[in-house]
Structures are given as structure tokens and as C-alpha cells.
Homo-oligomer: A and B are copies of this chain.
Amino acid sequence: MVTMQDVAERAGVTKQTVSNVVTGRVAVRPATEARVRAAIAELGYVPNLVARSLATGSSRTVGLFVPTVSAPFYADLVEEVEDALEERGHRLLLCTTRRDGERARRHLAALASRSVDALLIAGDQGLTGHLPLLADARFPVVLCAWEAALPDGFPVVTVDYEHGGHLAGRHLRALGHERALVLASPAHTVRTAGFRRAFREDGVPLPDDAVRTAAEPAFAGGLAAALDALRAHPEATALFATHDVLAVAAVEAARALGRTVPGDLSVVAHDDAPAGVLSGQTLTSVVLPKREMARQAVGLALGAASGSAAPPDPLPRPLLPALVPGDSTAAPRRT
């Protein structure tokens, strides 16, 4: 391994001078710099970040907690975070928690001993119980894609989930739907509230039992709840599923009852629908600005890490979801 010292000898300077040209912290006479750069190139010198970390305390590495990488939403988010990080010369230490507190705890220790510059936690509400630990982590922690139970004390990338639900509602209202159902995950009350607001504002409020909460965000639970809801409200012409898997379950439930989508029932999803769910058709869906979420999270984290950026004072404003029309919504059938 070629070291800074080797470069220095080759260029006829001391290693501090090499350090100065590499980091750019101190100006170096052009002629000297040229000699140093030449030596670096000839020797194929690459700085040892481990040594630099020990000296500076920064490893140029950031940890990311996600529940899993198997869900399309998190898969995309991970890649966006990776990109945002790379732009700033950092790399990603990925930790999937599987929503397991013990796992998260082990990961946290591993990150601490590796001197990561920051930790990003995406959508792991269940970890709240383990958060006290985080409070005295020796690196900044930034929360992201966190819809409920926001603990304070941490910078957080906020998304206006209520607005997302509202967009879904307005979309269906614009198509002319008056009777709609909501198939919700327990954690998604905010999205549901936004959806109801859209209908309420138009003077056609949703009855309380139009909202069904599926026990788990899994397919089976969603299917049962959807069948239930559709049977109880045969007059409903539209359905908002607060989660992609629930949307698939809703489509399936409709089919099982002999109803077509979007002919007999319009369906709006939230987050990303797995490609090909409808074999070639796409679901109308509320999508989150993942790229922006990742950029903000990385910005907050690295800002806090460098201690520069004034503490999250000018808190970035909430990011807005968008409605992407697909093949699963249409005007209600005239009766």
C-alpha cells in the first residue's frame, strides 16, 4: 500500500504538504502542488480513509435503517439515499431491521463503533420503544418516512400524508364518485383523514363504517377486510387503499365478487404498486417524493454531522405526495 509518506518522498516535500494538496485545506504553491499531483498519479496513491477517520472523526459513511428492502417503496428509497450520499462523497452502511428492536440495537452498536457520520431511519415506527438509546448516540439521527408517533428531539423529513389522502379523495370526487370505501392499515390514520376531508368538503361525508382497518398490512388480512367492506356497502363505487398490498387485495376482492376494476369499482392505491399487479395495467396511486425525501434526509444528516448548518432551524417544509393516474380509476357507472 502506497502511503502519503511515499508520495512526499517522491515529490520531495513532507507529508503535511501532500495532505494539504489532497484536502485542499491549505493553499500550496502551484509548482509544488503540480509535483505532488504528479507523484500521486505515478504512485497510484489513494488516501486511506480509515486513518483519516481516526484523525478527524468522520468516516464518510452513513448508516440507514429500513424495515426491509423487499418492499418496493424501501427499495427505491435505499437507492435514492445511496445516490444522494454518493453526490457528497459518502457511502451507505445498510441495516435492515425487519422491525425487530433487538436487531436494531445490535446494528446501532455496530454503527457506533464504526464511527458513522450519521444514521437515517426510514419508516420504522415500531422502533420507538428503542429510541431512548438513540438520544445519546454520538452521531446525528434523522427520521424519514415517519407517518405517526414522531418522537421529538430528532430532525425529521416530513411528508404531508394528509394531503396524499386528500388528493386521492379529490381524484375520486372529480370523477364523480359519491360512495367510497377506505381499506386502511392501522398506522395510516392520517392518510385516511385526508381522504375523508375531501369528501366532507364536498358535502358528501363518508359514514364511519366506510373505513375498514385491516389487521396487518398483509394480503390475507386485506382481502378479508375488503370482502367485508364491499359486501356491507354494495353501493360503493370506489375504494382507497392506504397501502400497495391492500390495493392488490382490494382488486382481488372485487374480482371475487364479480366486479370489474375500474368498471364496477375504482381503486386508488398509496405508495408504489408492484409492477404487473394488474398484469399490464397500472394502479392509480398516491406516490411519495422519494428522491426529495432522500435528499432532504441526507442534507439534514450531513449538515448536523458537520455541525455547520444551523440546527434544523429553518425546518424544511413538508414534502407533498402526488397522485399518479393509472388504469384502476374511472367515472362511476351510471345507474
| B95 contacts A280, C-beta separation under 8 Å | no
Check A146 for interface membership: any CB of B closer than 8 A. no
With contacts A61-B93, A275-B274, A277-B277 taken as known, whether A49 is within 8 angstroms of B79 at the C-beta atoms is: no
Interface magnitude class on chain A: 35 or more
Residues of B near A68 (CB, < 8 A) are 75, 79
Residues of B near A188 (CB, < 8 A) are none
With contacts A92-B93, A275-B274 taken as known, whether A219 is within 8 angstroms of B46 at the C-beta atoms is: no
| B276 contacts A114, C-beta separation under 8 Å | no
Nearest chain B residue, comparing its CB with the CB of A218: B275
**A260 vs chain B, min Cβ distance (A):** 13
> Cα distance A82–B98 when bound, in Å?
12
Binds B, one of A105-113, A119-127, A170-178, A317-325: A105-113
**A216 vs chain B, min Cβ distance (A):** 14
What copy number does this chain have within its complex?
2
Q: A277 contacts which of B69, B110, B276 (Cβ < 8 Å)? A: B276
Chain B proximity mask over A39-65: 1 for CB below 8 Å, otherwise 0: 000000011111101100001110000
**A25 vs chain B, min Cβ distance (A):** 18
Residues of B near A1 (CB, < 8 A) are 138
Q: A114 contacts which of B49, B75, B78 (Cβ < 8 Å)? A: B49
Check A302 for interface membership: any CB of B closer than 8 A. no
**A52 vs chain B, min Cβ distance (A):** 9
Q: A69 contacts which of B47, B69, B109, B278 (Cβ < 8 Å)? A: B69
| A279 contacts B114, C-beta separation under 8 Å | no
Residues of B near A231 (CB, < 8 A) are none
Binds B, one of A158-166, A198-206, A244-252, A307-315: A244-252
**A98 vs chain B, min Cβ distance (A):** 8
Nearest chain B residue, comparing its CB with the CB of A90: B110
Nearest chain B residue, comparing its CB with the CB of A70: B75
Q: A219 contacts which of B79, B275, B278 (Cβ < 8 Å)? A: B275
Check A76 for interface membership: any CB of B closer than 8 A. yes
> Cα distance A251–B279 when bound, in Å?
8
Residues of B near A111 (CB, < 8 A) are 91
Residues of B near A252 (CB, < 8 A) are 276, 279-280
Check A300 for interface membership: any CB of B closer than 8 A. no
| B46 contacts A109, C-beta separation under 8 Å | yes
